[in-house]
Structure 1
Amino acid sequence: MSRHACELFWERGVAGTTGDDIAAAAGLSTRTIWRYFRTKESCVEPVLAQSAKRFIALADRWPDELSLADHMAADMIENPLTERELADEIASLRIATMSATEPALRTAYLMVHDEMERGFAPVVAKRLRLPPDDLTARLFAAAVTAAFRVVDEDVGRRAIVEKEKVSQQEALALVDRAIRDATNGRLGGPVEP
């Protein structure tokens, strides 16, 4: 259902898509949609959440000797996205670009980033050798997920809306810079074991 919502919003716009449209595309009753989702825009959250979960899983595998950007590059080779996952990533970037002008989509988008932040805080704490509930770890998790959001929106706009070719290397360089800037250089690079 979430994939159908992402596709319909992209093709028709938010105003041009109803809950009935999403239900029909998914082969479900409209009643089922409203049982599980608070708004039609919130129907995109499961696709967005998959992207966030993939990032948290990747971050959990982050070795001390690599920067996050280098780890992401290596991890993409070791754990390539399936066609479905790649399509979901594209759908997520589309929703990210649309959320800039669609407040209800923005709400759904930010809800997922809040969950990503909560999942990333323990990773940050572990990496910086801090207690799990440490304020610095939580602040860095908030800053880094916000930085990722900004990078996703920028890359999404450039690649999807403006049809600009953005290389993986360029995107990872943006991620690396964003993390280091957001944490005053304390996170993102290799750490001593």
Structure 2
Amino acid sequence: MSRHACALFWERGVSATSGDDIAAAAGLSTRTIWRYFRTKESCVEPVLALSARRFLDLARRWPPELSLADHMAANYAENHLSPEDIADEISALRITTLSLTEPALRTAHLMVHDEMEHAFAPIIAHRLGLADNDLTARLFAAAVTAAFRVIDEDVGYRAIVEKEKITQQQALAMIDRAIRDATNGQLGGPVPH
């Protein structure tokens, strides 16, 4: 259902897509849509959350001797995304781009980033040897998640709207810089022994 909502919003626009349209595309009743989603725009959250979960799973395996960008590059070299994963990433970037001008999609986008922030704080705490609820870990999670959101918006707009070719290396360099800038250099690189 979420994939159908993403496709319809991109093809028709948010205002021209109804809950009935999403239900029909998914082969479900409209009543089922409203049982699981608070608005038609919130139907995109599961696709957006896939990317966030993929990142969090990767972050949980982040070895202390690597920067996050190096870990991400190694992971992508070893674990290629499936065609469905790539399609979901493109859909997520499209929704991110639309969210810049569609307030209700913006809400869905921010809800996913809020969930990501809460899940990322204990990962950061563990990496830095802090308690899970440590204020520094929580602040870093908030700053890094906001930095990722800005990177997603920038890359999404440039790649989807402006049709600019952005390489994986360029995207990883932006992520690396964003993390270091957001945490005054205290996170992103290898953990000193």
For this structure pair, what is the TM-score category when the shorter chain's length is used for normalisation? Answer: over 0.9
Q: Distance in 1 between matches of 2:166 and 2:132?
A: 36
Alignment: residue pair count: 193
Once the two structures are superposed, residues 96-127 of structure 1 have per-residue CA deviations (whole angstroms, 9 ceiling, x without a partner) of 11000000000000000000001110110011
Q: Distance in 2 between matches of 1:121 and 1:21?
A: 38
Partner letter of residue 121 of structure 2?
A: A
Once the two structures are superposed, residues 29-88 of structure 1 have per-residue CA deviations (whole angstroms, 9 ceiling, x without a partner) of 000000000000000000111111101000001000110011100011122111111110
Q: Distance in 2 between matches of 1:80 and 1:125?
A: 28
Q: Percent identity?
A: 77
Q: Distance in 1 between matches of 2:130 and 2:80?
A: 31
Q: Distance in 2 between matches of 1:133 and 1:42?
A: 29
* Partner residue in 1 for 2:64: 64
Trace 1:106-145 onto structure 2 (pairs within 5 A): 106-145=106-145
Give the superposition deviation at 1:192.
2.2
- Give 5+ residue unaligned stretches, structure 2: none
Q: Distance in 2 between matches of 1:122 and 1:90?
A: 28
* Partner residue in 1 for 2:17: 17
* Partner residue in 2 for 1:169: 169
In the alignment, structure 1 residue 49 sits paired with structure 2 residue 49: yes
The TM-score normalised by the length of structure 1 is 0.99
Partner letter of residue 147 of structure 2?
A: A
Q: Distance in 1 between matches of 2:161 and 2:114?
A: 25
* Partner residue in 1 for 2:28: 28
Once the two structures are superposed, residues 124-178 of structure 1 have per-residue CA deviations (whole angstroms, 9 ceiling, x without a partner) of 0011110111000000001001000000100000000000011111010000000
Structure 1 stretches of 4+ moved >3 Å? none
What is the CA RMSD across the aligned residues, in angstroms?
Answer: 0.6
The TM-score normalised by the length of structure 2 is 0.99
